[in-house]
Structure 1
Amino acid sequence: MLEISDKTNLLEQASYKYTLQDVPEPNLYRDVYNYEEVPKVAFNHRRVPMETPPDIWITDTSFRDGQQSMAPYTVKQIVDLYKLMSKLGGPYGLIRQSEFFIYTKKDREAIEKCMDLGLKFPEITTWIRATKNDFKMVKDLGIKETGILVSCSDYHIFKKMNMTRRQAVDYYLETIRDAFEAGVVPRCHLEDITRADFYGFVVPFVNEIMKLSKEAGIPVKIRACDTMGYGVPYTEVALPRSVPGIIYGLQHYAGVPSEMLEWHGHNDFYKAVSNAATAWLYGCCAVNCSLLGIGERTGNIPLEAMVFEYGSLKGSLDGMDSTAITEIARYFSDEMGYEIPPMTPFVGENFNVTRAGIHADGLMKDEEIYNIFNTDKLLKRKPGVTISKTSGLAGIAYWINEHYDLVGDQQIHKDDPMVHALKDWVDELYADNRTTSISNKEIKEKIKELKGND
């Protein structure tokens, strides 16, 4: 049977209708996931087209997945971070939604205070258990959309839930009907999709969800969750690990529109950002992230990373205020006591700091030589240097100019007597078996001492 595709406007075979394979034993993909070995990446050399949607955006899970790996945030912290997130997302709401827990009095207070701010973006959504009481709480708060866990791999269906695939589908659909009856848009979280039988379970299950959505006259969102970080962005990779294949299949064989499709990834194999960008490129409008990447195990997709990934792909930040990233990082550090690993891109203490004297010499001549972009403009963070045994005269001169805001004719150069005196002092410290960098406080005190001796 041939039909005109709404997506491609071309005649396509409509015979690819997948039915649920209610297998007696779980498919655990032991050839890929041996458990005693590194997971394998298998190729089938099948290509799918890259179909980037006209609009792409970011959603947030900092107050849900992020909170699961930290001490619970206070109401004030949630409200403050929510406001900063709104600032970061800009006037067009490119950080479109943020999901919250709803179970405790504190959770509900935080939601109410964020709603009272009257900010259009990020829209407040929730994540709940599949019970009528939880749906009632969502409706009472005026929340329009909520996440529902619908685990889709046989690891979860057989091993955790002790169900068959058919039983799992029936249980999930009953839950989704409850959401529709409550007038709430369900966001179905396809947990562990990168270990799931894609055409034997995922596609036929999502087809049933889409049918139910059409009957109810209420839209439904599908979140593809790479729960263990197994997804890979490479082209021609076989399912279930192929990110392009998952996005393509959900669109073309399960009928999920791009704007209803969301990618949620983890960073267990360092692929969170590349997988998220790949999801965008192959037809997924939304990527779900958390501030600083904080989340289960190795964390989620860092939200700040996808801000710059967006700018790279679209050629513009489209109104996003990237300087808010630095404010967010400082808030985590100063107000919440969270220690950001110093080498973390964009937010770490050493992100745009160099220790090598030869690099500092380049920075003095033109910061573009050793800085990735104008970090002062985009992040309100000037490139810096730390003083160590490898800093040299150039590094010391750069440090003085940076920390005392010396510009133009005021700047000192590496042949300045003060620079040479500091260099001699640094060399003496390291000759005495010092192994750490010299703190800013130590250097400033030494400069005061040297000036006092003049």
Structure 2
Amino acid sequence: MKTSEIIIDDTTLRDGEQTAGVVFSRREKLAIARLLDLIGVQEIECGIPAMGADEQDSIRALVEMELSARLITWNRALIPEIQASIDCGIKAVDISLSVSDQMISRKLKKDRTAVKEQLKTALGFARQHDLYVSVGGEDASRADLGFLVELLQITRELGGDRFRFCDTLGIMDPFSMYDKVAWLRAAVPEVEIEVHTHNDLGMATANAIAGIRAGARFVNTTVNGLGERAGNAALEEVVMGLKHACGIETGIDTHRFRELSLMVAKASRRELPSWKAVVGERVFAHESGLHADGVLKDPHNYEGFDPAEVGLVRQIVVGKHSGASGLIDRYRSLGIVLSRDDAGLLLPVVRLEALRRKRDLKDRELVNIYLNGAELLKAA
């Protein structure tokens, strides 16, 4: 395991809140930001000042918290919006421009020259005010790489700090992400790259990690993968993926991931699925006889990491697919000692009941099965 210099820029309070129908109260924003800061997230994208007075007040309240994490706001590359961020007490901004020919011509009704001039004006203004600047390339995944190099060169020449490579539509795969980020890093090595990925094809986390492996130092995440349409790369997935798939330690305290996920799920009114990768309640639940037996012998047989790493606990579930080992362990947790022979006698009853109920069995149901089967066990 190596310690990285990867910077997590969590955008739960910005892109996460842009999830259709999601609204965070100011109290919720402050609580989420505080916990993100406590676990070691290095940067928090905290809102869009141009939205108006209420958003600006929330951002000022976040600034007043004096967190260790750097606060950064999202702005179009327009002087009035950057000024609104300055007025909130913000010292770091993302200035966003559409960079694909599709969006330049069909959305902005402009050309590449106009985009470059807009970047020069906005970046020049931001640097005059000593702001830390991330230049956000909206729809960069569909942009011409040569044009992106021109924008990176302008970023370098005018003192921008990094360039955000956005897969705005979530249409990339990890292989093309790696190739494009690596190409840009080689073309303009002086400018750091940030990757911002969406999950429309279910590859946001994979694309984020591919971008990091290609040389990006900054990565956008959201708690639980909240975000526009299908969401963004999930904070908990990116951090644990880097740690356990890539051997890269981010310095984030993962033990409070479950707590953080539940907090954001409640605030966003978006239920956290029990099977959600990394933080779902049943990610470490084992029912299959083969799996339960294996994990009871050695958790590493069927668990890639300790559930305590993310604030979860292992569960042995009794249901249709249970075997003797899982049944014995579950009854032991209820204070009931079963022999293997006893378990063999009760298993058909347990499986039939689970089949009838179409789910795993609860503690009370298991106790009733044991009590009702007492004569059967005595006879055996």
TM-score (norm 1): 0.73
**2:323 matched to 1:392?**
yes
1:127-206 matches, cutoff 5 A? 127-199=74-146, 201-206=147-152
Cα deviation code 1:54-87 (max 9, x no counterpart): 6222111111111111411111221222122123
**2:49 matched to 1:108?**
no
* Equivalent residue, structure 2, for 1:32: none
Cα deviation code 1:189-219 (max 9, x no counterpart): 11111211111x2112322232222xxxxx4
Q: 2:27 aligns with which of 54, 70, 76?
A: 76
1:72 alignment partner AA: V
Cα deviation code 1:359-406 (max 9, x no counterpart): 212222222222222213x1232221333211233333333445x5x7
Question: What is the deviation of 1:428?
Answer: 4.3
Question: What is the deviation of 1:446?
Answer: 4.9
Inter-CA distance 318–283: structure 2 relative to 1 (3 Å threshold): closer
**2:75 matched to 1:98?**
no
2:24 alignment partner AA: Y
1:397 alignment partner AA: I
* Equivalent residue, structure 2, for 1:243: 177
Question: What is the deviation of 1:53?
Answer: 11
CA contact (8 A) 1:126 1:143 kept: yes
Instruction: Select between 177-186 and 322-331 the one with higher mean Cα deviation.
Output: 177-186
**2:219 matched to 1:282?**
no
* Equivalent residue, structure 1, for 2:378: none
DSSP 3-state at the match of 2:12? coil
Rounded to whole Å, the distance in 1 between the matches of 2:350 and 2:268 is 34
Structure 2: where are the runs of 5+ without partners? 375-380
Rounded to whole Å, the distance in 2 between the matches of 1:318 and 1:68 is 26
**2:357 matched to 1:357?**
no
Tell me the C-alpha RMSD between the 2 structures: 2.9
DSSP 3-state at the match of 2:178? helix
* Equivalent residue, structure 2, for 1:436: 359
Structure 1: where are the runs of 5+ without partners? 1-51, 90-94, 214-218, 235-241
* Equivalent residue, structure 2, for 1:252: 186
Rounded to whole Å, the distance in 2 between the matches of 1:97 and 1:349 is 28
**2:14 matched to 1:64?**
yes
Work out the number of aligned pairs and report it: 370
2:166 alignment partner AA: C
Overall identity of the aligned pairs, in %: 25
Rounded to whole Å, the distance in 2 between the matches of 1:178 and 1:425 is 74
Rounded to whole Å, the distance in 2 between the matches of 1:137 and 1:116 is 16
DSSP 3-state at the match of 1:68? coil
DSSP 3-state at the match of 1:267? coil
CA contact (8 A) 2:239 2:250 kept: no
Question: What is the deviation of 1:337?
Answer: 3.9
DSSP 3-state at the match of 1:299? coil
Inter-CA distance 308–453: structure 2 relative to 1 (3 Å threshold): closer
1:382 alignment partner AA: V
* Equivalent residue, structure 2, for 1:229: 170
CA contact (8 A) 2:285 2:314 kept: yes
TM-score (norm 2): 0.86
Rounded to whole Å, the distance in 2 between the matches of 1:319 and 1:277 is 16
* Equivalent residue, structure 2, for 1:208: 154
CA contact (8 A) 2:155 2:163 kept: no
